Structure 1
Amino acid sequence: MSRIIAIFFGAGLLRPAPGTWGSLAALIVGWGIERYLGFPALVIAFVVATIAGFWACEAELRDRPGEDPSEIVIDEVAGLWLAMLFPAFGFWMRDMSMVWPGPVAAFLLFRLFDIWKPSLVGRADRRHDAKGVMLDDLWAGVFAGVCTVILAVIYHVIIL
């Protein structure tokens, strides 16, 4: 079960760039959850993915200290869903579902911070343990979510 969760039901086995494929799968599933079940369901999905991700990473990496295999993408799922919560909350407050470009911006910014690994993202990545596998993507999700909101404010308040 930990393997299935860690590879997010096979998304982590796609090549090349399994982290991007895992993030894309998370975008599609997360956007669907928010669209058809609502913002609270996305919050629950994020919490479940995060808890399951910490458990699965610990189980999968128990005998492989210091590794961060590319096929483990549950960290990308949790991180992207965290990033998506920022624009989703704004739409929820307006009593509507998330529309383009909010989730797409969250996806692109999440991938940027996940690959670039600035500040706290890089510090978590350098832990070289199962918790670090999850934490770097959660930090990337926070950075991406905040930047998504900043870009939305710039567009809707300053430009329009």
Structure 2
Amino acid sequence: MNPHVSDIPYADLGPDAPVRVTAAFMRSHPAHWLALGFGSGLSPAAPGTVGTLWAWLSFMVLDLWLTDLHWAVLLPLAFVIGWWACTVTAAHLQVNDPGSIVWDEIVCFWTVLWFVTPAGPVGGLSVLWTQLCAFAWFRYFDAVKPGPIRWADARFKGGGWRGGFGILFDDVVAAFCTLLVFALWRFW
């Protein structure tokens, strides 16, 4: 059993059993708070979608105070710290890429919103409508995992730092594909 899990009261599930994701688990380590999206990953249904919605809401609040320079610093920092948090949390859960880890959706959707929001309306649409379209495309790419996203998802499977990066990497590709859709939309 993972030695870091031994201090969690419900972690005596056996050496091969994954740990259940609960509020108690989330509170047991700072990395869990971040990786589980401050609780949004605890959703019993569609935690990735709930995490993306949390990302959208938190972006709307943070964007009131953050400038483009702040976002340019925050996003890479959030990725690196998230890499650590996802690695630690996946190890504690004893699962390579648990669905309850939603920091990947959060940091990548923040990136999408940062790119599409300052540009204002797309094709005469309001900013909110633009963000809704970004949400729909990002969720499509993240959930369905067409071509390049499926490749990225399979590329870094496993435990440790490589696996922690892999948790984030397929969402980076999903964010890129979402931004590509917007670039093509604006081009035409």
TM-score range, shorter chain: 0.7 to 0.9
CA–CA separation in structure 1 for the residues paired with 2:116 and 2:59: 12
Query: Amino acid of the residue matched to residue 153 of structure 2?
Result: D
Residue 56 (structure 2) pairs with residue 44 (structure 1) = no
Shift of 1:53: 1.3
The residue aligned with 1:145 is: 179
Cα RMSD between the aligned structures? 2.1
Q: Which string of whole-angstrom CA distances, capped at 9 and with x for unpartnered residues, describes residues 44-94 of structure 1? A: 332232111111111122366762111100000111112113213424xxx
Query: Amino acid of the residue matched to residue 139 of structure 1?
Result: V
CA, structure 1 residues 32+153, in 2 after alignment: closer, same or farther (shift >3 Å)? Answer: farther
SS for the counterpart of 1:37 is coil
Query: 1:1-160, aligned counterparts within 5 Å?
Result: 1-62=30-91, 67-91=96-120, 99-126=127-154, 127-128=156-157, 129-154=163-188
Shift of 1:150: 2.8
Q: Answer whether contact 1:12 1:18 (CA < 8 A) is retained.
A: yes
CA–CA separation in structure 2 for the residues paired with 1:66 and 1:9: 19
- Percent pairwise identity: 28
Query: Amino acid of the residue matched to residue 136 of structure 1?
Result: D
Shift of 1:39: 3.0
CA, structure 1 residues 104+132, in 2 after alignment: closer, same or farther (shift >3 Å)? Answer: same
Query: Amino acid of the residue matched to residue 134 of structure 1?
Result: L
Structure 2: gaps spanning 5 or more residues: 1-29, 121-125, 158-162
CA–CA separation in structure 1 for the residues paired with 2:59 and 2:90: 26
TM-score (norm 2): 0.70
CA–CA separation in structure 2 for the residues paired with 1:150 and 1:89: 17
CA–CA separation in structure 1 for the residues paired with 2:171 and 2:152: 9
Structure 1: gaps spanning 5 or more residues: 92-97, 155-160
The residue aligned with 2:27 is: none
After superposing the two structures, state which structure 1 stretch, 12-21 or 37-46, moved more: 37-46
Query: Amino acid of the residue matched to residue 149 of structure 1?
Result: A
Q: Which string of whole-angstrom CA distances, capped at 9 and with x for unpartnered residues, describes residues 1-37 of structure 1? A: 1111100111100221000000000011112222442
Q: Is the radius of gyration larger for structure 1 or structure 2?
A: 2
Q: Which string of whole-angstrom CA distances, capped at 9 and with x for unpartnered residues, describes residues 87-123 of structure 1? A: 13424xxxxxx82222222111110000111232111
Query: Between Structure 1 and Structure 2, how many residues are aligned?
Result: 148
CA, structure 1 residues 131+119, in 2 after alignment: closer, same or farther (shift >3 Å)? Answer: same
CA–CA separation in structure 2 for the residues paired with 1:152 and 1:101: 15
* Structure with more relative contact order (C-alpha pairs < 8 Å, separation 6 or more): 1
